[in-house]
Homo-oligomer: A and B are copies of this chain.
Amino acid sequence: MYDVARRAGVSAATVSRVLNGRSTVDPSLAERVTAAMTELGYRRNTMARNLRLRASNLWAIIISDVENPFFTSMVRGVEDVASTAGYSVVLCNSDENPAKEQNYLDAAMAEKMAGVIISPSSARVDGINQLRKGRCPVVVVDRELDGLRVDTVLVDNLEGARSATDHLIEQDFQRIACITGPRWLSTAAQRLTGYTQALKAAGRVVDEQLIRYADFRKRGGHEAMASLLDSGPPPDAVFVANNLMTVGAAECLIQQGRAIPGDVALVGFDSIPWADLVFPSLTTVAQPTYEVGRAAAHMLLAGIREPDHEPQKLVLATELQVRASSVLPRR
């Protein structure tokens, strides 16, 4: 910067002012400065700047599984907004592991990140509260945490699950089962509630024997489906509360030689990139994943600008996409 200043015949302060564009600089000087900068190929040192400003231009996005398409699509939404706003995004993979998650939260604190977007891997809220106390803007996505007042972006899990179940009821399936996720996860709970609400609204009985709590992973879906088939009369339709488990459940059915939807119909939650390709194509409750990312990013920007705002909560709508796995061919 001093080199630039010397070459432009000004002080370093003026160079800084030109760089930041905040205060007014004489146009002719500014011109000389920019000229000098290009001639010297000057690039300002972000670290020094951040040190001085006591802030970084980094966002951390902490997700529980990089390989889940739901999250990657979301990340992309975040990234697009972040980069146009001048922020970089650090992707952190908590792997549904609370310890790893806490590590990343600590790191975010230590690195004085400009903001954090997190899909929590545990029900503990202290890590996040600590971050907020440290005046680091936080947006929680996908999952809701009890007793946490913080900006949040969710999808309408209740309505999504209800529409999926309604759809199965309309198709006149009689024994509609549900495979949901861990009890502490708001998404799992809400989707289960949507399922039971729809059944009750249709005058059906909710049969506890037809409900399974799994782990939101492929294997869990597989095992839950096997368990449903093993114990008592099998279901003739299943609502599976997340994408990976839907894949697992479908695999289980195929392995056991059960026809989809002939023996067991299937509706999944979360979109599956190749839902059209699998056989039969899978009916799913699609989430606006990219939009979730964008919305969270915008919320974070707002939180950075206004640190003491009231926490917002945004709920985006889902869309039931009916494909072959839930529709019996006409007889």
Q: Distance (Å) between the CB of A52 and the closest chain B CB?
A: 9
Interface core residue of A47, A79, A107, A111 (most chain B CB under 10 Å): A47
Let me know if A313 is at the binding interface, CB within 8 A.
no
CB < 8 Å: which of B51, B67, B250 contacts A277? B250
- B66 close to A75 (CB less than 8 A): yes
- B76 close to A66 (CB less than 8 A): yes
Q: Distance (Å) between the CB of A135 and the closest chain B CB?
A: 15
- B67 close to A73 (CB less than 8 A): yes
Let me know if A89 is at the binding interface, CB within 8 A.
yes
Q: Distance (Å) between the CB of A243 and the closest chain B CB?
A: 10
We find that the number of chain A residues with CB closer than 8 angstroms to chain B is: 41
CB < 8 Å: which of B56, B251, B274, B276 contacts A47? B56
- Tell me how many chains of this kind the complex includes: 2
Let me know if A16 is at the binding interface, CB within 8 A.
no
Chain B contacts for A79, CB-based, 8 A: 66, 91, 93
- A47 close to B51 (CB less than 8 A): yes
CB < 8 Å: which of B47, B91, B272 contacts A75? B91
Q: Which of A247-296 contact B (CB under 8 A)?
A: 247, 250-251, 254, 272-274, 276-280
Chain B contacts for A109, CB-based, 8 A: 43
- A46 close to B277 (CB less than 8 A): no
Let me know if A72 is at the binding interface, CB within 8 A.
yes
Let me know if A110 is at the binding interface, CB within 8 A.
yes
Chain B contacts for A66, CB-based, 8 A: 72, 75-76, 79
- A107 close to B91 (CB less than 8 A): no
Q: Distance (Å) between the CB of A324 and the closest chain B CB?
A: 10
CB < 8 Å: which of B51, B67, B89 contacts A48? B51
Let me know if A131 is at the binding interface, CB within 8 A.
no
Let me know if A162 is at the binding interface, CB within 8 A.
no
Chain B contacts for A46, CB-based, 8 A: 110-112
Besides A48-B51, A88-B107, A277-B278, 16 other CB < 8 A contacts?
Answer: A43-B109, A45-B51, A47-B47, A47-B50, A51-B51, A67-B273, A79-B93, A88-B90, A88-B92, A90-B91, A247-B277, A250-B277, A251-B277, A254-B277, A274-B274, A279-B280
**Could you list 17 examples of A-B contacts with CB < 8 Å?**
A44-B110, A46-B111, A46-B112, A47-B47, A47-B50, A48-B51, A79-B91, A88-B92, A88-B111, A89-B91, A91-B91, A247-B274, A247-B277, A254-B277, A274-B274, A274-B278, A278-B279
